[in-house]
């Protein structure tokens, strides 16, 4: 049994009221027998709930990137004159998503997950089907959407890494 601060100071004597107080205020002990830091005893349950929340955040980030890709594949061709504003807007959107999720989760994977969701959906929907039709055509807005979006996703991941992940103090 680990000694309490009172017992180490020699103020508590064995037996009697002092010993009972010493047991009540005893420090939590880890499995290795060393004294645990305050709040460490409840850590395993908290770690599992934290892991579940983190996993949920990654799933939501992937779905957000996939939804941006899905909507973008059908709306990329909207222009203002000859400027593909929708395609450029979707490029800015995936860039912002990668940056913000990377910042929010403070991890490279956080920035990478929405980019992967966007790339999977966008490139799968840009492939021709057996009937010969394609969703993303080889037009200026289509090129802006696919190439600009891919570049934006990569820039978002690199920027998130450079700005937040690399800047964290080592643990």
Q: Note whether 85 and 142 are same-domain residues.
A: yes
Q: Is the pLDDT of residue 10 over 90?
A: no
Q: What is the pLDDT of residues 55-97, one digit of tens each?
A: 999 999 999 999 999 999 999 999 999 999 999 999 999 999 9
CB atoms within 10 A of CB 80: 9
Structural domains counted in the chain:
2
Domain that residue 6 falls in = 1-41
Q: Note whether 57 and 11 are same-domain residues.
A: no
Distances (CA, A) of 12 to 1, 17, 78: 15, 9, 80
- pTM of the entire structure? 0.68
Q: Note whether 94 and 143 are same-domain residues.
A: yes
Q: Note whether 68 and 137 are same-domain residues.
A: yes
Q: Note whether 130 and 85 are same-domain residues.
A: yes
Asked if residue 109 is part of any domain, the answer here is yes
Can you say whether the dihedral through the CA atoms of 158, 91, 71, 124 is positive or negative? negative
Asked if residue 147 is part of any domain, the answer here is yes
Asked if residue 160 is part of any domain, the answer here is yes
Q: What is the pLDDT of residues 116-165, one digit of tens each?
A: 999 999 999 988 888 777 888 888 999 999 999 999 999 999 998 888 76
Q: Note whether 55 and 20 are same-domain residues.
A: no
Asked if residue 171 is part of any domain, the answer here is no
Q: Note whether 122 and 159 are same-domain residues.
A: yes
């Amino acid at each position: 049994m680990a000694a309490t601060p009172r017992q180490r100071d020699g103020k508590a004597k064995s037996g009697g009221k002092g010993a009972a107080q010493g047991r009540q205020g005893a420090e939590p002990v880890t499995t290795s027998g060393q004294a645990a830091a305050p709040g460490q005893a409840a850590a395993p349950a908290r770690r599992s709930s934290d892991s579940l929340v983190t996993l949920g955040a990654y799933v939501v980030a992937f779905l957000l990137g996939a939804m941006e890709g899905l909507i973008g594949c059908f709306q990329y061709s909207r222009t203002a004159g000859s400027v593909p504003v929708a395609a450029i807007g979707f490029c800015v959107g995936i860039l912002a998503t990668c940056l913000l999720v990377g910042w929010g989760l403070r991890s490279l994977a956080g920035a990478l997950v929405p980019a992967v969701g966007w790339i999977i959906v966008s490139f799968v929907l840009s492939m021709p089907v057996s009937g010969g039709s394609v969703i993303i055509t080889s037009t200026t807005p289509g090129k802006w959407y696919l190439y600009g979006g891919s570049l934006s996703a990569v820039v978002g991941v690199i920027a998130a890494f450079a700005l937040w992940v690399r800047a964290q103090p080592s643990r």
